[in-house]
Amino acid sequence: MNLIDTHAHIYSSKFDSDRDEVIKEIQDSGIERIYMPNVDVETIEAMLACETKYPGLCIPMMGLHPCDVKEDFRSQLRIMKDWLDKRPFSAVGEIGLDLYWDKTFFEQQKEALKIQIEWAKEKQLPIVLHCRESMDETIAIVKENHDGALRGIFHCFNGNVSQAKQIIEMGFLLGIGGVATYKNGGLDQVIPEIGLDHLVLETDAPYLAPVPFRGKRNSPAYLPYIAEKIGDYLQVSKEIVAAKTKENALNLFKEFSL
């Protein structure tokens, strides 16, 4: 299989002790490309170091994660916009809304999201959206700011069929990861209603490892387990899942096609 992981933090310090070994496992598992979402200003250096060390495999995005939107979010955004203006990135991400951890800066999260959506429209880049406990709110903002050409991924999708259809109608993809393998994840009810045309695969490594690795450090090397589970839901082979989701990913990330 040839797979693409559309969302993994392989630059995370959780891989510092054995990153080279993990990268070999990833490549041995048939993973052709890892798209790396940025989190904040502090993660940029490590992310770009992975791009340099593993060229053609690790592809960076640029964006401010909603959980890192604090009082200084405007200064962080200025630095990120400078990066976007001086070199290519595959997407604006990871951006969005998060009502799970801390609601203190929710208004600032919404403002930061709208600003970064405008960057994506200006640069004609896709956006990669974090929407934990905020699916409806994120959908509403994207609808409000959609220019007809805006595209991207609702990362770690765990919503219902109605939400999935709204996302698809806007021309967005659903990022499906380890939650698809969880007994009570709910995606067994959604994926058969949606099919493969609107899905991409992701791990969100080092987080959200699929069964049978749940609770352990996640890795893009585990992506075949997610492909297999999606295949089970759709009654197709994991090879078919891999091929279609790869096609979907490359159609989205056009500037970085293989």
The answer to whether 105 touches 76, Cβ cutoff 8 Å, is no
The predicted structure's pLDDT at residue 255: 57
pTM of the model: 0.97
Which residues, including other chains, have CB under 8 Å from residue 148's CB and lie 6 or more apart? Answer: none
Eight-state DSSP code of residue 70: -
| 107 CB neighbour count, 10 Å cutoff | 10
155-169 pLDDT per residue, tens: 999 999 999 999 999
Which residues, including other chains, have CB under 8 Å from residue 104's CB and lie 6 or more apart? Answer: none
Place of tokens 């962080």: 76
**Over 80: is that where the pLDDT of 209 sits?**
yes
Closest CA to 123 of 159, 81, 65: 81
Confidence of residue 102 (pLDDT cuts 50, 70, 90): confident
- Number of domains comprising the chain: 1
**Over 80: is that where the pLDDT of 257 sits?**
no
Residue-wise DSSP of 161-199: HHHHHHHHHTT-EEEE-GGGGSTT-SHHHHHHHH-GGGE
The answer to whether 7 touches 94, Cβ cutoff 8 Å, is yes
48-77 pLDDT per residue, tens: 999 999 999 999 999 999 999 999 999 999
| 29 CB neighbour count, 10 Å cutoff | 17
d(CA 121, CA 35): 20
Residue 144's domain spans which residues? 3-256
**Over 80: is that where the pLDDT of 258 sits?**
no
d(CA 116, CA 89): 13
Q: Residue 70 sits in a domain of what CATH number?
A: 3.20.20.140
